[in-house]
A and B are shown apart, each in its own frame.
Chain A
């Protein structure tokens, strides 16, 4: 689905592609920094202590989430500056791309990169021979990973829209809501072999974020009905 999003909405406009790649880059940098911190923590700690390792992992995940949000904010700042530049350059003093579109594209960029990093190794291994869950792990590993990745990509997209909207209108509670949601989703994945616990709430959260973002972008129930009926 994310690829479909990309093809239909982004691939046409070169500016969007650049924003997408830049978004992916920012996510990558945040990942880099967070893994640096985690790595240092791991090296500095006792490798034998299981509980400590797990704790450090949790800490690493949370820290990474916070860093991702921080980078989203930085990216927002950069895009604001870019919009001003584009407006100054364009002939009719109107930016060729609005901040909401940028938010959408940035979200897709973040999401794609996050999804790609989570999944690509799985996919490569999936091409090879093997049995899923042979050591007593869940047999649904690939399937749930796929769904989880999709949820994450969509969530990133919606979060970016919400986040940018919050920054635009100075509504700090929106921003904190996004951060809390992100933390919640990542936290939910901790109970992962128990897939009910992680997938279902994630999807619920995604639905919430989706409707919220939709409403913020100017949609409404009427629009939706018109769209569905016309088609």
Chain B
């Protein structure tokens, strides 16, 4: 719905195209970490992601689906082995997630530092109607809190709506919505982004070339995300749309509101995934009950599935390698990322080196990857990007936030390995990031500056 709103908005306000586009943020889909969810959860997530994906990536959505469905079936059979393998492969999975998160952050920071456009204040989203240009501190604080409340309620409404749609099986609607969202994201935002980058570097570009480039980019992106495509390409596209979304957020959210929103989103994520009545959790459970695959375009998956969007809930009757989507999902997927459920990994992993235990479960475990919701990517990048844009210094703050987020991700993955169910990916990382941002900006910076001016080393 939000997507639709966005589109209509853009039509109605042609003059201020950007503002109207911005306002069409879809509520972020909470990213969830599911190690063991069946693909259906992923699909549900994907839907959610779509909604948010177009405008905002849902952060934590994916979690729900993943962990719950597969767990009961699998656990009983291979509990010990699984546990060992999970933890053993834990490091690898963590790295599989580190790399995309790092890439996304690098893209965002690089853009922020070089392209002026994204740090200029040029209007606000309709989701954050209260301005922050107020004379007094108290007023500003109040405005940002109100902005946050509005934003969070929009997110909640969108998520609940998605869950309802999913429950009542209005799949076409959800698919259409997601497709429209990703269309808009891929084409419009890319166009704006390219325009700004070209402007910054003073490169002349004619319209036909631009049209060709964007058309190719967008078309391939749509195919990759919603249908089949090489794993790496799909991952690259997901990273890019997360970065674009994050850039949009950074530009259009006023300062204090952004920080308060980040904090509130983590709390919401925590509640939505863990509370029994939380929308995300319901989504995941419903998806698992129905054994349906996860929606693409909302989850980043490090392991590809053989069949797109086909979840195989049946964890026991697995054939070797190929159809490990389920296995992967059920088994060891620690992260829940509401990303594509496609797992090509099984396919590519079939020539797996022989391991001591050559059961198919083993293969499945190996092929499992982790999934992280695109919303997570987006909010991490928003944090780091905001740090890069507004910290009165420098790269120290950005670096500190980066390390803090990575450590938070590590810890979350660790918890995922321990709990084996969908977990919110946002709270720990965002908390660390916020703490480090504020403390580095205010405390460490003067210290380091003084040290550097005397050229002292500690």
Contact B443 A21 (CB under 8 A): no
Q: Indicate if B452 sits at the interface (CB-CB under 8 A).
A: yes
Can you list, as one digit per residue, whether each of A14-45 has a CB less than 8 Å from chain B (1) or not (0)?
Answer: 11011001101100100110111011001000
Contact A124 B403 (CB under 8 A): no
* Distance to closest chain B CB from A111 (angstroms): 12
Residues of A within 8 A of B393 (CB): 121
Measured CB to CB, the nearest residue on chain A to B113 is: A124
Q: Indicate if B440 sits at the interface (CB-CB under 8 A).
A: yes
A39 to B396, CA, bound (A): 17
Contact A114 B458 (CB under 8 A): yes
Between B98, B403, B410, B456, the greatest number of chain A beta carbons within 10 A of the residue's beta carbon is seen for: B456
**Contact check: which of B88, B436, B439, B454 meets A90 at CB < 8 Å?**
B88
Q: Indicate if B162 sits at the interface (CB-CB under 8 A).
A: no
Contact B403 A25 (CB under 8 A): yes
A122 to B440, CA, bound (A): 17
Contact B399 A116 (CB under 8 A): yes
Residues of B within 8 A of A186 (CB): 456-458
A60 to B458, CA, bound (A): 9
Residues of B within 8 A of A148 (CB): 455, 457
* Distance to closest chain B CB from A219 (angstroms): 28
Interface residue ranges of A112-147 to B (CB < 8 Å): 113-114, 116-118, 120-122, 124, 141, 144-145
Contact B448 A117 (CB under 8 A): yes
**Contact check: which of B94, B439, B458 meets A68 at CB < 8 Å?**
B458
Residues of B within 8 A of A64 (CB): 458
**Contact check: which of B410, B444, B456 meets A35 at CB < 8 Å?**
B444
Q: Indicate if B447 sits at the interface (CB-CB under 8 A).
A: yes
**Chain B contact residues: over half helix, strand or loop, or mixed?**
helix
Residues of A within 8 A of B457 (CB): 118, 148-149, 152, 185-186, 189
Measured CB to CB, the nearest residue on chain A to B409 is: A21
A18 to B90, CA, bound (A): 11
Q: Indicate if B450 sits at the interface (CB-CB under 8 A).
A: yes
Residues of B within 8 A of A25 (CB): 403-404, 407
Contact A21 B447 (CB under 8 A): no
Contact A141 B455 (CB under 8 A): yes
**Contact check: which of B84, B88, B443 meets A36 at CB < 8 Å?**
B443
Residues of A within 8 A of B399 (CB): 113, 116-117, 120
**Contact check: which of A60, A121, A192 meets B396 at CB < 8 Å?**
A121
Contact B451 A61 (CB under 8 A): yes
Q: Indicate if A200 sits at the interface (CB-CB under 8 A).
A: no
Residues of B within 8 A of A90 (CB): 84, 88
Contact A18 B91 (CB under 8 A): yes
Can you list, as one digit per residue, whether each of A177-194 has a CB less than 8 Å from chain B (1) or not (0)?
Answer: 000000001100110110
Measured CB to CB, the nearest residue on chain A to B399 is: A116
Residues of A within 8 A of B443 (CB): 32, 35-36, 39
Contact B91 A14 (CB under 8 A): yes
* Distance to closest chain A CB from B357 (angstroms): 9
Chain B: interface residue total (CB-CB under 8 A):
37
* Distance to closest chain B CB from A75 (angstroms): 12
Q: Indicate if A89 sits at the interface (CB-CB under 8 A).
A: yes
Q: Indicate if A91 sits at the interface (CB-CB under 8 A).
A: yes
Q: Indicate if A106 sits at the interface (CB-CB under 8 A).
A: no
Measured CB to CB, the nearest residue on chain B to A23 is: B403
A121 to B455, CA, bound (A): 13
Q: Indicate if A175 sits at the interface (CB-CB under 8 A).
A: no
* Distance to closest chain A CB from B101 (angstroms): 12
Residues of A within 8 A of B454 (CB): 57, 190, 192
Q: Indicate if A105 sits at the interface (CB-CB under 8 A).
A: no
Contact B455 A144 (CB under 8 A): yes
Q: Which residues of B contact A (CB under 8 A)?
A: 84, 87-88, 91-92, 94-95, 98, 356, 393-396, 399-400, 403-404, 406-407, 410, 436, 439-440, 442-444, 446-448, 450-452, 454-458
Q: Which residues of A contact B (CB under 8 A)?
A: 13-15, 17-18, 21-22, 24-25, 28, 31-32, 34-36, 38-39, 42, 57, 60-61, 64-65, 68, 85, 89-91, 113-114, 116-118, 120-122, 124, 141, 144-145, 148-149, 152, 185-186, 189-190, 192-193
Give 30 A-B contacts (CB < 8 Å), ordered by A residue: A14-B92, A15-B91, A18-B410, A21-B406, A31-B444, A35-B443, A36-B439, A57-B450, A57-B451, A60-B447, A61-B456, A61-B458, A68-B458, A85-B87, A90-B88, A91-B84, A116-B399, A117-B396, A118-B457, A120-B399, A121-B394, A124-B395, A144-B455, A152-B457, A186-B457, A189-B455, A189-B457, A190-B454, A192-B454, A193-B455
